[in-house]
Amino acid sequence: MKQALLVFLGGGAGSVLRFVISKNLNPVTTLPLGTLLVNIIGSLLIGLFLGLGLKEEYLSPNTTLLLATGFCGGFTTFSAFSYENQALLKSGDYLNFGIYSAGSIFLGIAAVLAGLWLSRNI
């Protein structure tokens, strides 16, 4: 039960922060900048949290669960990414579709790798 509560609390905090960032940045351009930023930052953080979780003296299993599964799970969003790509395709905005899709995938993976690298060098 404790683990479920940790995931719930972390997920709630991550979801609220994602909402605030996306609400403020997505209307700025036709590119869903808020969602892109949230997913890249979340990828960096999950790499960092999971890497630090492997170092027993840095993060306990419960803290890793709260931050990686809970917070990052609530903060990042594949469903919004998918919906926004569908909207870009529907509107015929193929350039931003390509930038957003490729950027999300490649920058997301690079951010996870950077987070893992940071965790090894702390």
Binding residues for Na(+): 73, 76
Coil, strand or helix at 58: coil
Give the whole-angstrom CA distance, residue 67 versus residue 29: 30
Burial 66-97 (b: 16+ CB within 10 A, else e): bbbbbbbbbbbbeebbeebbeebeeeeeeebb
Long-range CB contact pairs, 55-61, < 8 A, 24+:
55/119, 58/119, 58/122
Numbered residues of the known binding site: 73, 76
Could you tell me how many residues make up the chain?
Answer: 122
